[in-house]
Structure 1
């Protein structure tokens, strides 16, 4: 398992009192129900006793409905530095040091909180003001980490991501997996077997100044296809840079287009339209994302703490076409109506075009 573990799976905080956050994103897509559930966990300034110290669990549920629960006590958070494993809870029914506990004991021991690993995700949160609630428990069989099937997973941002020069760090933990279990949303239960699952994480001082994100591993008639794409204006040491990347897993092969090794272009509206094109030495890829849904805002870590600075939907329409380098032969043509589409950061007042 350690040899197959995705880079950066472990917790990055090492006791510093400097501004720090780490966040994890798990998603399950239910094609038969036409819905998705995205679980977002975060911890900020874990040294404690700071204005932003604390954690949160957020869920983007059916029809982009939103639920959030904060966990102010950083001492009830735990994460492994060696592998993907994290816990945060409040109001435990039994005194306990935060740690991964047997799943069959979790709901009896913890009234609100979560525990998650590379192969499991479980939790329960509720909003006392509205009465809305969510409970979940599912196991995951990873299929793709980040890279070719059967080979050691790669760092999403390359070898340099192991150096503390980028802000923030980012890693796709599982581009595609199979989830089996259940999710209960406001009393309605969703049971599923081998549902498409995804996981990623980020860490550092704050999110990028501006970014967009495109993701799907639930395509019509293409069960062995997963795509993640991103564009960001981020901090590098003492300067800022614009970067982009597209990663495509298809039939055991990994196709990567990065702004360092490929020609990337994008045109992303403040909301509703995501267009991206990439060309490398062998392939040409076109992405077109559209959302008729208004989406919903979720909280992300900033210098000012956890604030609503990100707009998301899991009901985006995404078209993908990959051709050979000359554009003469179509190698892949796929479509999804349950894609994740996102914009975030500084106010989007006009369309973002790159390059200008």
Structure 2
């Protein structure tokens, strides 16, 4: 057993990489999202880890791991024992032991030790994602182990990384908090999806998290870092209705990393508009003093229901596909006619809607 290999001065480590729970008994959740995309076979694996009310003994205390895998197939396991969860306050590192023959406090293990001693559970850091889970009813399982080399955090390369929600996210004003941990990285390893083994080298990887004691009423999300002919391009965009002190507000943002530069369109520096259908079409555009961007995500697939933390515990309340189509155009504002910097397409875009009241489209600026 050993300490977690973390360099806090690593240029890609973002704010909010550490665990946020303050040890109190207030309603609290934290969730982490790891994804790896395999362009060669057109598949994506998304791993979602969560912990709720970690003080224990509460109606919704417990943890979970979910995997959205091949052809948007879904696997979920609940880990009710909060004492078997661990996370670092200083860096991105967490894990939850399910079945194990270890009696010690949970902590980071060498990958070989984890595979030997933890029969079900997961562990994840900025450079590793590893675990095993199985549905006892069907026998369907997933086992995974891959290393991650971060390329982009959230901000310009080789400079201090930014908080996704701005400096106010350090205060308990906006809830839930949201942080893109790694806009783009390269993953190497393997995933065993119910007997079929997917091996990969330098595959596009992504990571984000959210946390807090309140839950968004409604949200949407687009994410892609596997584009045709553009290996150095990563997009994350999204919006939602969230609590701010005693009122609700609707906010949205677009973030793009391309050739070492970060293009950020957020409420405090840009005009952001969106038109999101209940399912099937996501349209956004944004403009700041220097640049403008337009993007459209579409899918004909039905999507897969996923669980997310809510005021009443982990519930099916969002819908995802990892095989959406995305078109994107970035322009530099110069005089009368803007200069097109980038046009890009993908058939491996993550698309999501979540929360309630999706009876008709959501249009806003």
Question: What TM-score results when the alignment is normalised by the length of structure 1?
Answer: 0.98
User: Hey, what does 1:330 align to over in structure 2?
Assistant: 340
Contact persistence 1:37–1:61 (CA under 8 A): yes
> Is the 8 Å Cα contact of residues 93 and 108 (structure 1) preserved in structure 2?
no
- 1:65 maps to 73
| Separation (CA, whole Å) in 1 of partners of 2:143 and 2:105 | 22
2:150 matched residue in structure 1 = 142
Instruction: Report the CA distance between 1:172 and its aligned residue.
Output: 0.3
The CA distance in 1 between the partners of 2:153 and 2:338, in whole Å, is: 31
Q: Secondary structure at the match of 1:91?
A: coil
Structure 2 regions of 5+ residues with no counterpart? 1-6
SS at match of 2:226: coil
Aligned to 2:87: 79
For 1:139 and 1:98, the matched residues in 2 are separated by: 21
In 1, Cα distance between equivalents of 2:319 and 2:337: 34
Which residue of 131, 134, 143 corresponds with 1:123?
A: 131
Q: Work out whether residues 284 and 327 of structure 1, in 8 Å CA contact, stay in contact via their aligned partners in 2.
A: no
Distance 1:135 1:299 in 2: 20
Residue equivalent to 1:105:
113
Distance 1:15 1:327, change over 3 A: farther
Q: CA deviation at 1:106?
A: 1.1
* Structure 2: distance between partners of 1:77 and 1:294: 34
C-alpha distance in 2 between matches for 1:253 and 1:323: 14
Moved more, 267-276 or 149-158: 149-158
Q: Which 4+ residue blocks in structure 1 deviate beyond 4 angstroms?
A: none
Correspondent of 2:353 among 335, 343, 349: 343
Aligned Cα root-mean-square deviation (Å): 0.9
1:50 maps to which residue?
Answer: 58
Counterpart residue number, 1:310: 318
Deviation at 1:153, TM superposition (A): 1.0
Q: For residues 213 and 168 of structure 2, what CA distance do their matches in structure 1 show? A: 17
* CA offsets 1:20-56 (integer angstroms, 9 cap, x no match): 0000000000000100000000000000001100000
- Distance in 2 (alpha carbons) for counterparts of 1:328 and 1:245: 21
- Give the deviation of 1:328 after TM superposition: 3.0
Q: Residues 167 and 234 of structure 1 are in contact (CA less than 8 Å); yes or no, is this contact kept in structure 2?
A: yes
Query: What are the Cα deviations for residues 43-79 of structure 1, in whole angstroms up to 9, with x where unaligned?
Result: 0000000110000000000110000000000000000
Residue aligning to 2:3: none
The count of corresponding residues between Structure 1 and Structure 2 is 355
Q: d(CA) in 2 for partners of 1:347 and 1:302?
A: 15
Residue of structure 1 in register with 2:188 after alignment: 180
